[in-house]
Structure 1
Amino acid sequence: MKEWTSSFQNKGFLFLTINTIITLFAFGFIPLFLLQNSYSLWQIVGLYAMYTALAALIITIIPFFRLRYFIVFGLSLHALAVLVMVWFAPVMFFVFAVLLALVIVFFWIPLNWLFFRHAQQTRHATESAFYYLVPGIISLLLPPLGALVIHFFGYQILFGLTALLYLIPIFLAFRLLPVDKESTPFWRSFQEFKGLRTITFFEGSLQHFGGTVLPIYGLLFLKTEGEIGAYLSLLGAVGVIVAVFLSRWSDLTQKRKSSLSLLFALMALVIISFIFVETKLHWFLAVGAFTIISVLSSPLRLAISLDEKAATAAFWKSREFCLNVGRASTLGIAAFLFYQELYLPVFLMYGLLALAYPFFVERKLKKVS
């Protein structure tokens, strides 16, 4: 219990929680908002491919990270990203992509550094479970609340209110965060990340299957903000508590590979099952099954990387670069296939990635048992 209490006392946990509360209030509705503003599914997938590719490029030119100032800037960019939706115009589609790319660089990399900087190997999976626990618990309540705001007041009020809420973590960041700085020359950091590059590429691809491809493909079944709110709530309702206990067991035994192999075999089967989904009920059942497996495996995926390398700012910079290369590559292919309305190859691609992931973990990571 004492070890779990230390997770809640982590300043990174505080800022992750606040950011998640604000983000889940509004950002999950943006694909539906874009669809209702005459954007097609392939264009929405392309938006996410564009911003992840841009994030990977920006990462290569940032020579250092400063905790307080980068997180404050990242939170400000997050507020600006949702604010551009209040006065949405075609050019804002591209502005939004640029801002999201900058958020990855200036918020998520330093936040991850802050969250895991003191984590010990015997707690890597547990800390990772708490990292993923926050969105799961919060998404039970916030998306339905966001749906209610849209229903009664409209998108502009939701987006404007969300932008204002970012003033809270910005103020707290100025008050609570240290000004620590770490030099992170890209090429040296990337070379030190050897052994993790390929599996991180796969991990990034699979992250945005659940976080981007499924919600956007789901717009073929879900048509209203209420249905989207229920869907987003479902994503948080399953698997989270079990993930904490599985991760704790993994830390105690230091056995990670066996659990990952089973989970990813099941994940591949569930991903391919989406090919046969034709009704809203089947959609929710398939999403529930995928989410359970994804939530259970996510802490272990992160823990094996933390077991292999020290969690410095350079580590998180290289990890985020590889994640975004994986995201952009597969999302770019998915956008093209969505344009052709060829959904079968999309699910086959991600199913094969899920099958390949444990193979590369076994081949690349010798320190992990």
Structure 2
Amino acid sequence: MDRSFLRLYTIQFFYIISHVFGWTLSSLYFVQIGYSFIDIAVYFAASFISSVLTVMALKHFHSNRLMRAGLILKFLVFATAAYLYVKPLLLFSEIMQGVMAIFWWVPMNIHFFRHKKEGRNASHSGLYFLMWPLVSTILPAVAGAAAEKYGMKTVFFSAAALILPAIVLSFRAKESSQININFKRFTEYTKGVKTLLFLQGIWEGVDWTVVPLATLSFVSAAAGFGAFYSYLGFFGIVAFFIAGRASDRIKKRAIFLYPVTVAMALSTILSGLSTTFLAWGVFRGAVSFLVNLFSPFSMTVVVDTSKSLEESMIAREFLLNFGRALGAMIVVLLLIMSVPIQHALVVSGAILLLHPLFLRHKKKGYRVEI
């Protein structure tokens, strides 16, 4: 592992621990300070829409500078989070979240996958996603305990402090490039996976919005809420290398993606129909396990079929966030119609069932076999 990649991975590590520690309890915090479920769903939708608009507005960027700007925005999100009871600041936070997501993830993904070795795309994707379940098994419970003892302001300010080493290291990152964006052209670089990424985005938009809010109907104390998310994180560790290592050997991503996606969709639907905390925990645990198998596969398919890494990663973020925005707006619409919030998961699970159907159809036109 060369020094530049180690530095990049360390930057990602501090970003992830900051995010998981500081943001896992965010929906609980929003409810505590008086926001409704609709307000929170609108927050998610607005941040995803901001991400879409940011991609459309970008014409060219210097990758290191953009990544550094994303980290600074993440610091500002946490530094202001304790004061989001001021509604104008909430709007500012929504926009910052969306812009930050693009400024951070686009250059990070480009730099990270430039270091991949030939024939090891899936293992590299597995390494990319490894940090999330490892951190998510421990830090949500720690954040919950800290919130109960010291308050959410302490959690947010601690998360802001945790991002500072990443900002400092970003000034020492030497690997950089000037990237020009042609919005019409870059969608061509995800030919064959655009629909798949869009469907994945819809599922994520619903899931990321609904799951924390639905969990509040079963557990509302910060410590218990954080402990539940640590429980979910544990399943990701179990799933971690199954996808990447096996897929690199067999070279057939679809063999894994078909059953994993169907199982993930069905588990999502069943979690949306759960009426007890036990059932909710079982099916959300299953989703957590399966999504940690699915995510490296999904990224690997993008890398496998990519004609240009830079353009593909930009297009990936656009398509995912476009889908996420639609997913979050579906949640808003269902809440306005007074549909129980968990039932949105039935909708997203049903939509995700389309993913393997489109994969089977689209993969016939890929320039590489997956």
| TM-score, normalising length: structure 2 | 0.93
Matched, 1:42 2:38: yes
Distance 2:239 2:273 in 1: 28
Instruction: Compare 222-231 and 273-282 and name the one that shifted more.
Output: 273-282
> C-alpha displacement at 1:34, in angstroms?
0.4
Provide the residue aligned with 1:356 in structure 2. 354
Q: Deviations over 1:98-152 (max 9, x none)?
A: 0001111211111111111232452111111122210100111111221122122
- Number of aligned residue pairs: 365
Any idea what SS the aligned residue of 1:103 has? helix
Provide the residue aligned with 1:323 in structure 2. 320
Instruction: Compare 92-101 and 309-318 and name the one that shifted more.
Output: 309-318
Distance 1:175 1:315 in 2: 26
Provide the residue aligned with 1:65 in structure 2. 61
Provide the residue aligned with 1:122 in structure 2. 119
Distance 1:8 1:233 in 2: 31
Any idea what SS the aligned residue of 1:182 has? strand
CA contact (8 A) 1:58 1:105 kept: yes
List runs of 5+ in structure 2 lacking aligned partners.
Answer: none
For 1:12, the aligned partner's letter is L
Provide the residue aligned with 1:234 in structure 2. 231
CA contact (8 A) 1:41 1:217 kept: no
CA contact (8 A) 1:8 1:14 kept: no
> C-alpha displacement at 1:321, in angstroms?
0.5
Any idea what SS the aligned residue of 2:219 has? coil
Q: Deviations over 1:32-75 (max 9, x none)?
A: 01011111112212211111012101111111232221111110
Provide the residue aligned with 1:163 in structure 2. 160
Distance 2:308 2:124 in 1: 12
Q: Deviations over 1:174-219 (max 9, x none)?
A: 0124332221222221233322211110121223344332122222
Picking from 286, 300, 305, the partner of 2:302 is 305
Report the aligned-residue RMSD.
2.0
> C-alpha displacement at 1:311, in angstroms?
5.3
Cα distance change on mapping 1:119 and 1:222 into 2, 3 Å: same
Provide the residue aligned with 1:75 in structure 2. 71
Q: Deviations over 1:66-92 (max 9, x none)?
A: 222111111000010111112231112
For 2:211, the aligned partner's letter is L
Distance 2:215 2:3 in 1: 34
Distance 1:287 1:246 in 2: 19
Matched, 1:220 2:217: yes
Matches within 5 A, 1:21-40: 21-40=17-36
Cα distance change on mapping 1:283 and 1:69 into 2, 3 Å: same
CA contact (8 A) 1:140 1:237 kept: yes
Any idea what SS the aligned residue of 2:299 has? helix
> C-alpha displacement at 1:320, in angstroms?
0.5
Cα distance change on mapping 1:34 and 1:79 into 2, 3 Å: same
Distance 2:265 2:19 in 1: 29
Matches within 5 A, 1:1-369: 9-88=5-84, 89-120=86-117, 122-310=119-307, 312-343=309-340, 345-366=343-364, 367-369=368-370
Distance 1:253 1:363 in 2: 21
Any idea what SS the aligned residue of 1:122 has? coil
> C-alpha displacement at 1:303, in angstroms?
0.8
Cα distance change on mapping 1:157 and 1:345 into 2, 3 Å: closer
Cα distance change on mapping 1:356 and 1:287 into 2, 3 Å: same
> C-alpha displacement at 1:7, in angstroms?
11
| TM-score, normalising length: structure 1 | 0.93
Cα distance change on mapping 1:113 and 1:51 into 2, 3 Å: same
Distance 1:6 1:256 in 2: 28
CA contact (8 A) 1:257 1:368 kept: no
Distance 1:110 1:234 in 2: 31
Cα distance change on mapping 1:308 and 1:227 into 2, 3 Å: same
Any idea what SS the aligned residue of 2:191 has? coil
Cα distance change on mapping 1:270 and 1:30 into 2, 3 Å: same
CA contact (8 A) 1:11 1:115 kept: no
Distance 1:15 1:177 in 2: 13
Instruction: Compare 347-356 and 69-78 and name the one that shifted more.
Output: 347-356
Any idea what SS the aligned residue of 2:34 has? coil
Task: Using the aligned pairs only, state the percent identity.
Answer: 25
Distance 1:21 1:244 in 2: 21
CA contact (8 A) 2:242 2:293 kept: no
Instruction: Compare 279-288 and 336-345 and name the one that shifted more.
Output: 336-345
CA contact (8 A) 1:10 1:115 kept: no
Distance 2:149 2:248 in 1: 46
